[in-house]
């Protein structure tokens, strides 16, 4: 019997000289191409406006061609500089003189002079105070004659210190990791060893820790506030819960800027909250009042308010699907209300809890507008510094390095979440 069936199957699996797999592929290829064509416009749009610019921006964190473009001969000559306690040899000074003269004369493409400006800026980011050394020397380079070493040191004392040479050597590679070190408050010293930045220049580690801490705190507060609300929404009759859901969603329809600035009205020194507390005699006047805004408190309050819906919605949608009979079953099996909640209800809300936490945390870690408006000095997050380097200091390399690390951090968290909870176990709504 089984032989007969197998034989029959064998007969059907070949038709027109093609086996079943080939025929299936042929039959479905039309649908596949249709799908590809329908997605193609969006794919191209995303590629051009999203993926390529981001990739280009991320590449900037390591792509650093200014020094190698401006001083090609010097960079090559510096390869022989091994004893970092001594100054480089005469040949290196000669190479620098040649490079600078070439740039003053217009350089390879006639843009030599502006390249000198960029070189000065770039080196200044790495070793502060050398901008004028470069520009001044470049202006006088025509008059610099052999012996070059003395002439350079006469033009500017800094040429007589190894620091500037180490800086040129470090940045001489078109691709280098200086910006990533800077983003962690680290630098390479003259000998190429990685050391901490001088204390006055250390800001980023504190900033990273603060960003993580605030994001974590906001996530925890959101869980604490959203869990009971979501539970209430999920258990109330539909007529009432729909109304309350609108209240939760209402902030979504209001501009982020309006919501943030309204916190300024509420939390300000003469704001609604403090005036009300003053009326009932809980706070004093003027300097006695606690500072609630333009500091970390302001950032935390405003961010929690804005991110709360992102926690409520996934939780609500998960809780909505949990039948009340589970809790009843747990109770009837002998579990007291607390135990029934912990053993039966809570584990079933983990997909929503995980989704909400990861959503809120990732949004919080990259938050910009709210800390910028209400954060003051100690409420600034890493994004504010990325924006600062993009718009003010124009140190795009450092901004890109900070951005890359932020992205990597989020990816790592996502991976960790997948390992612990499982991404398939996430429910967004």
Euclidean distance between CA atoms 228 and 221, whole angstroms: 12
User: Which of 34, 235 has the CB closer to other proteins?
Assistant: 235
339 near other proteins, rule: CB under 8 A = yes
Q: Which residues contact 400 (CB under 8 A, 6 or more apart)?
A: 57, 58, 59, 60, 61, 179
Nearest to 168 by CA among 249, 69, 263: 69
Give the other-Cβ count within 10 Å of 200's Cβ.
Answer: 6
422 near other proteins, rule: CB under 8 A = no
**Closest distance to other proteins from the beta carbon of 350 (Å):** 8
Among residues 43, 347, 422, 429, which is the contact residue for other proteins, using CB under 8 A? 347
Task: Answer for the pair 274, 283: CB distance below 8 angstroms, yes or no.
Answer: yes
Nearest to 102 by CA among 67, 73, 65, 134: 73
User: Which of 47, 339 has the CB closer to other proteins?
Assistant: 339
Task: Answer for the pair 183, 202: CB distance below 8 angstroms, yes or no.
Answer: no
Q: With CB under 8 A as the contact rule, which of the stretches 194-202, 232-240, 257-265, 339-347 interacts with other proteins? A: 339-347
Give the other-Cβ count within 10 Å of 243's Cβ.
Answer: 11
Residue count, binding to other proteins (CB under 8 A): 20
333 near other proteins, rule: CB under 8 A = yes
329 near other proteins, rule: CB under 8 A = yes
Give the other-Cβ count within 10 Å of 386's Cβ.
Answer: 20
Among residues 2, 82, 255, 336, which is the contact residue for other proteins, using CB under 8 A? 336
320 near other proteins, rule: CB under 8 A = no
Among residues 232, 244, 248, 335, which is the contact residue for other proteins, using CB under 8 A? 335
424 near other proteins, rule: CB under 8 A = no
Among residues 12, 285, 334, 391, which is the contact residue for other proteins, using CB under 8 A? 334
Give the other-Cβ count within 10 Å of 385's Cβ.
Answer: 19
Q: Which residues contact 174 (CB under 8 A, 6 or more apart)?
A: 63, 64, 65, 68
**Closest distance to other proteins from the beta carbon of 325 (Å):** 4
Q: With CB under 8 A as the contact rule, which of the stretches 4-12, 213-221, 345-353, 362-370 interacts with other proteins? A: 345-353
- For residue 147, whether the previous peptide bond is cis, meaning omega lies within 30 degrees of 0, is yes
Q: With CB under 8 A as the contact rule, which of the stretches 225-233, 301-309, 311-319, 341-349 interacts with other proteins? A: 341-349
Among residues 328, 394, 408, 415, which is the contact residue for other proteins, using CB under 8 A? 328
With tokens 């870690």, the residue in question is 365
List the beta bridge partners of residue 194. Answer: 188
User: Which of 351, 366 has the CB closer to other proteins?
Assistant: 351
List the beta bridge partners of residue 48. Answer: none
Among residues 13, 19, 332, 393, which is the contact residue for other proteins, using CB under 8 A? 332
User: Which of 157, 328 has the CB closer to other proteins?
Assistant: 328
DSSP assigned state of 175? B
Task: Answer for the pair 175, 169: CB distance below 8 angstroms, yes or no.
Answer: no
394 near other proteins, rule: CB under 8 A = no
344 near other proteins, rule: CB under 8 A = yes
CA 219 to chain centroid, in Å, comes to: 17
User: Which of 289, 331 has the CB closer to other proteins?
Assistant: 331
Among residues 33, 45, 59, 326, which is the contact residue for other proteins, using CB under 8 A? 326
Q: With CB under 8 A as the contact rule, which of the stretches 121-129, 266-274, 322-330, 405-413 interacts with other proteins? A: 322-330
Give SS3 for 16. coil
Tokens at residue 68, please? 């190698």
330 near other proteins, rule: CB under 8 A = yes
234 near other proteins, rule: CB under 8 A = no
Give whole-number Cα distances, 15 to 9, 10, 19, 29, 419, in Å: 12, 10, 7, 18, 46
Binding site for other proteins (CB under 8 A): 323, 325-326, 328-337, 339-340, 343-344, 347-348, 350
């Amino acid at each position: 019997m089984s032989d007969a069936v197998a034989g029959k199957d064998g007969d059907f699996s070949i038709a027109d000289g093609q086996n079943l797999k080939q025929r299936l592929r042929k039959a479905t290829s039309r649908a596949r191409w249709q799908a590809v064509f329908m997605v193609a416009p969006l794919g191209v749009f995303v590629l051009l406006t999203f993926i390529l610019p981001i990739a280009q921006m991320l590449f900037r964190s390591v792509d650093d061609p200014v020094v190698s473009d401006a001083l090609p001969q010097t960079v090559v000559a510096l390869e022989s500089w091994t004893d970092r306690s001594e100054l480089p040899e005469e040949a290196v000074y000669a190479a620098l003189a040649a490079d600078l003269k070439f740039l003053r004369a217009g350089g390879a493409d006639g843009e030599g002079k502006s390249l000198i400006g960029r070189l000065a800026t770039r080196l200044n980011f790495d070793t502060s105070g050398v901008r004028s050394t470069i520009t001044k020397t470049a202006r006088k380079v025509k008059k610099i004659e052999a012996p070059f070493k003395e002439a350079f040191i006469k033009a500017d004392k800094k040429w007589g210190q190894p620091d500037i040479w180490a800086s040129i050597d470090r940045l001489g590679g078109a691709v280098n990791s200086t910006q990533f070190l800077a983003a962690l408050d680290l630098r390479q010293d003259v000998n190429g060893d990685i050391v901490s930045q001088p204390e006055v220049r250390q800001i980023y580690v504190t900033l990273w820790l603060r960003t993580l801490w605030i994001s974590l705190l906001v996530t925890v507060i959101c869980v604490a506030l959203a869990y009971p609300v979501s539970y209430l929404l999920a258990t109330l009759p539909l007529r009432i819960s729909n109304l309350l859901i609108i209240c939760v969603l209402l902030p979504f329809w209001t501009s982020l800027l309006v919501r943030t600035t309204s916190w300024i009205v509420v939390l300000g020194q003469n704001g609604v909250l403090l005036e009300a507390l003053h009326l009932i005699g809980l706070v004093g006047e003027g300097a006695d009042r606690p500072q609630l805004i333009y500091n970390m408190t302001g950032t935390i309050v405003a961010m929690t308010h804005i991110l709360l819906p992102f926690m409520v919605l996934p939780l609500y949608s998960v809780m909505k699907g949990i039948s009340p009979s589970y809790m009843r079953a747990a109770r009837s099996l002998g579990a007291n209300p607390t135990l029934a909640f912990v053993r039966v209800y809570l584990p079933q809300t983990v997909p929503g809890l995980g989704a909400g936490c990861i959503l809120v945390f990732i949004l919080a870690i990259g938050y910009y507008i709210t800390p910028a408006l209400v954060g003051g000095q100690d409420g600034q997050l890493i994004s504010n510094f990325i924006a600062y380097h993009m718009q003010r200091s124009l140190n795009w390399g450092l901004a890109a390095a900070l951005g890359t690390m932020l992205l990597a951090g989020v990816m790592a968290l996502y991976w960790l979440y997948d390992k612990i909870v499982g991404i398939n176990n996430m429910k967004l709504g």
